[in-house]
């Protein structure tokens, strides 16, 4: 059974970088009253910390997608829980845990763009740039990490380990 091993991003690093991302969003969207769209389930911890670091008027919503079957990207993305409000004419920020192959984000951007937001930005906690299969523009990136499978702080392996307060490599098995 694989287990969380080496720490890749510790709690203090997460906290400090998320404060910076929150400031970036506040600077760019101060007058826009954006809607931050968290991508479930992975981004829910990041979303909670990010909005508390963004000191402007904003609203939140969530979209649930499944893109992974047991660890590796299937390339198939499906909405399992849709937004609860219209984003037409709104300034939207997708808040995602990770951009890996880029397939999920490409799908999400295309899907939300079709609903005619006023603007659409993307904020990801982690970028695994080495694994990219499709080019996708990301506006705000927390950390670039090497090609390791990570768990903790929202990241899961078969649903487990999301509750770790840091990001660790999944090891063994």
SS3 (DSSP) at 172: coil
Residues 173 and 157 sit within 8 Å (Cβ to Cβ):
no
Please confirm, yes or no, whether 49 is among the known catalytic residues: no
Shortest distance, CB of residue 149 to ligand IMP, whole angstroms?
Answer: 4
Mark the segment that binds ligand IMP (CB under 6 A) among 21-29, 46-54, 109-117, 150-158.
150-158
Binder among 4, 38, 102, 152 for ligand IMP (CB under 6 A)? 102
Out of 3, 73, 111, 119, point to the residue binding ligand IMP (CB under 6 A): 73
What radius of gyration do the chain's Cα atoms show?
15
CB of 51 to ligand IMP, least distance (A): 19
Residues 64 and 123 sit within 8 Å (Cβ to Cβ): no
Among 35, 51, 58, 98, the residue binding ligand IMP under the rule CB under 6 A is: 98
Handedness of CA 155, 82, 119, 76 (dihedral sign): positive
C-beta of residue 26 within 8 angstroms of C-beta of residue 56: yes
Active-site residue, selected from the candidate residues 28, 49, 61, 100: 100
Q: Which residues are catalytic?
A: 100
């Amino acid at each position: 059974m694989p287990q969380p091993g080496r720490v890749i991003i510790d709690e203090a690093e997460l906290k400090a970088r998320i404060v910076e991302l929150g400031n970036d969003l506040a600077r760019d969207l101060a007058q826009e009253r954006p809607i931050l769209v968290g991508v479930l389930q992975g981004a829910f911890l990041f979303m909670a910390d990010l909005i508390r670091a963004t000191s402007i008027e904003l609203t939140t919503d969530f979209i649930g997608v499944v893109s992974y079957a047991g660890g590796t990207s299937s390339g198939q993305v499906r909405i399992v829980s849709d937004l609860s409000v219209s984003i037409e004419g709104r300034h939207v920020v997708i808040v995602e845990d990770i951009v890996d192959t880029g397939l999920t984000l490409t799908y999400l951007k295309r899907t939300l763009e079709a609903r005619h937001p006023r603007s659409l930005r993307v904020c990801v906690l982690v970028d695994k740039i080495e694994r990219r299969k499709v080019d996708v523009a990301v506006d705000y990136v927390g950390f670039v990490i090497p090609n390791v499978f990570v768990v903790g702080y929202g990241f899961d392996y078969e649903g487990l380990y999301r509750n770790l307060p840091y990001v660790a490599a999944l090891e063994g098995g």
